[in-house]
Amino acid sequence: QVQLVESGGGLVQPGGSLRLSCAASINMFSIYAMAWYRQAPGKQRELVATIGSAGTTTYVDSVKGRFTISRANAKNTMYLQMNSLKPEDTAVYYCNRFGGSWAWGKGTLVTVSS
């Protein structure tokens, strides 16, 4: 069973930056399209960004130009660089295979507040 471990969250002021990491315990990590999701308090989980096996990326409109998704296949790790953070980015952030077919990890909490 795949294990996903997210890290890097925390409390940051509006306009600040954070870098999230996702470690995946799976062979052949490089062949999978991966994604970051987030769930804000009282809301459904939403897709934030995706990265294909070849490195193609997509973003939800609300984070375009501020977030950058990347991956280091040799380390079985994916990243989300978040800049110019806004209070509405406050959420628990999760990583998963694109489509969310693996077991979810615990996520990492990002709080944007002054």
CA–CA separation, 105 vs 88, rounded Å? Answer: 22
CA–CA separation, 107 vs 114, rounded Å? Answer: 22
What is the model's pLDDT at position 1? Answer: 85
pLDDT in tens, 9-60: 999 999 999 999 999 999 899 999 999 999 999 999 999 999 999 999 999 9
Instruction: Say yes or no to pLDDT of 4 above 90.
Output: yes
Instruction: Say yes or no to pLDDT of 100 above 90.
Output: no
DSSP string, 26-91: -TTGGGS-EEEEEE-TTS--EEEEEE-TT--EEE-GGGTTTEEEEEEGGGTEEEEEE-S--GGG-E
Neighbours of 8 (CB within 10 A): 16
